[in-house]
Structure formats: structure tokens, C-alpha cells
Amino acid sequence: MIAQIVVNGILAGLVYVIMALGFTLVFGIMRVVNFAHGEFYMTGAMVVMVLYGVLGWPFFVAVAIAGVTAALMGVVIERILIRPLVTEEMPGMIMTFAIGTTLQSGALLLFGPAERNIPRPFSGTWNAIGAVVPWDRTTVAVAALLILSLFYSFLKFTRTGLAMQAVSQDRETASLMGIESSMIYAVSFGMSCLLAGLAGALMAPIYPIGPYMGELVIVRAFVIVILGGLGSVPGAVLGGMIIGLCESAVATLVNPTAALIASFGVVLAIIIVRPTGLMGRIVR
């Protein structure tokens, strides 16, 4: 049972990390809490539903197109709607809430309120340290690890990634050093939506797909980034793994309904001791 809890927690935590990375990235650089993040996750799942579930395209091709679609939508939305409100936290929150509601309503008009399921691209299970692991969840976890590795490499070893870190730490000093903030904002929001779209696309065969599927995602992402620290990428990774293991343990030992409640309990316990989160900092 312990092995199953650990394996399930790690598999879930890797997906949670991908979901939370984009959320914390936007706040860390733009100081905007993106309440539309769940709807970009939903967009990725919807694209896979159409391309893979209806048209029969290869699964990973559909996943890649879903991520690119969400990223392009994010760049356009950032340019038109988010850019004038950068650094204005309350107006930015209201705008992203309106964007999320609009995307959700659009999906409702296009696909209806009913949830749908698509065929799983991989079936069967294998054993790991005594735990039974489905192949489809294994594939999602491996893909999440690859995405996380590429994201880390981008931040650490590219000029744009280093510029994003500079803007996150101190945008005024970064501007004095010649970094164009407007370009960094567009890249950051687009990458955030790319990560959300990829997470939704990878999870599309596992969970039901519907217009409201992003609501629980945004709650979970918010819990993770508060736990890890708003704006902290390492904190999002740590928070995602902690929440994944916590929910796996509670779902196995108690019931799945109590798992989300337990994750909120963990966050409350942490922020009482450390209000900025595990790896958070006071932003300027």
C-alpha cells in the first residue's frame, strides 16, 4: 500500500507541477494572478478531443498542436487584453477572470455541457516496487518530466530564459540593462498557456472532458503555488510533489473527496509558519 501511495503521488505530482508552473510563471514576471489558467488547460484537452478522439490523428501530434494552440491564444490575449494591466494586480485578476469565463462559455456553446471521454492511447499496467502502474499514467508522467526538463533548460541556458528571471527579480533594473519587458511579458504568458495546454492535452484520455474541467485545475494550481510560494518556479515543483503525495495518501487511506480538503489543510499549516510559502519571497 505504501508503494502504491508513493507511485500514485509521484505520477499525479508531476502533472500538477506542469499545471502550476505556468500559473506561477505569470505571477512571478507579470504580477498577474491568471484565473483563466484552467480554461487554457481545458483548451488543450478540447483540441486533443477533436484531433485525436474525433479525427483520429496520432495522440502526440494532437498533444503538440494543443499546446501550440493554447500558446498562440495566450500571446494574442496578452497583447490585447492583459498588457495594459501588467503590474496592476486587482484589475489584472478581474480581466483574467473575465477571459476564463468567456473561454468557458465559448466551449459550452461549441461542445455543450456534457462531459465526454476519448479512447486511451495506451492500455495495460506494469509493476514498480510492488505497485501497479497504468501505462497511460506512466506515459503522462514521462512526458511531464520531459516538459519540465525542457522548461528548466530554457530558463537556465537561453538568453530569453535568463531575461525572464531578471524581470522576475527586478523589472526596473532589468529595463536599465536593456531587457525589453514587453517581449518578456508576451513570451511568459504564451509559455504559461503552452504548459497549461500541454497538461490538459496529456490528461484528456484519463479524465472526462468538458467546459467546466478547468475549475478544479485552477483551484489545485492555486493551492500548489501558495504552498511553494507565489512566483517561485522551484516552489511550484516542490509544492506539486507535496500535494500529489498528500492527495494520494488521503485518497487511499480515507477517500478521494477528502484529498482536496487535506491539500488545503497542508497549505494552511505551511503559511501559518511561513506566510510567503516554502520557497517564496517578498516581491518588489
What are the tens digits of pLDDT across the range 5-60?
888 888 888 888 888 888 888 888 888 888 899 999 999 999 999 999 999 999 99
User: Alpha carbon 284 to chain centroid distance?
Assistant: 24
Single-letter amino acid, residue 130? G
Residue 128 has pLDDT above 60, yes or no: yes
pLDDT at 118: 92
C-alpha cell at 4: 502504491
CA distances 228 to 85, 86, 103, Å, are: 25, 23, 28
pLDDT at 284: 47
Surface-to-core class of residue 54, CB atoms within 10 Å of its CB (0-12 exposed, 13-18 middle, 19+ buried)? exposed
Residue 86 has pLDDT above 80, yes or no: no
pTM listed for this prediction:
0.89
CB 63 within 8 A of CB 48: yes
**Confidence band, pLDDT 50/70/90 cuts, at residue 87:** low
Phi-psi map region of 277: left, alpha, beta (phi>0 left; psi -120 to 50 alpha): left
pLDDT tens-digit profile of 225-268?
Answer: 888 887 778 888 888 888 888 888 888 888 877 887 888 888 88
Residue 282 has pLDDT above 70, yes or no: no
C-alpha cell at 49: 478531443
Q: How many residues does the chain have?
A: 284
For the chain, what are the domain ranges?
2-213
pLDDT tens-digit profile of 179-231?
Answer: 888 888 889 999 999 999 999 999 999 889 999 998 888 888 888 888 888 77
DSSP 50-118: IIIIIS---HHHHHHHHHHHHHHHHHHHIIIIIGGGTT-HHHHHHHHHHHHHHHHHHHHHHH-SS-B--
**Confidence band, pLDDT 50/70/90 cuts, at residue 281:** low
DSSP secondary structure code for residue 49 in this structure: I
How many CB atoms are closer than 10 A to CB 27? 21
Residue 283 has pLDDT above 70, yes or no: no
Rounded to an integer, what distance in angstroms lies between the CA atom of residue 146 and that of residue 36? Answer: 25
Phi-psi map region of 217: left, alpha, beta (phi>0 left; psi -120 to 50 alpha): alpha
CB 243 within 8 A of CB 13: yes
Rounded to an integer, what distance in angstroms lies between the CA atom of residue 87 and that of residue 32? Answer: 7
Of the chain, the percentage scoring pLDDT greater than 70 comes to: 98
pLDDT at 33: 84
Rounded to an integer, what distance in angstroms lies between the CA atom of residue 253 and that of residue 245? Answer: 12
Residue 280 has pLDDT above 70, yes or no: no
Burial 140-178 (b: 16+ CB within 10 A, else e): bbebbeebbeebeeebeeeeebebbbbbbeebeebeeee
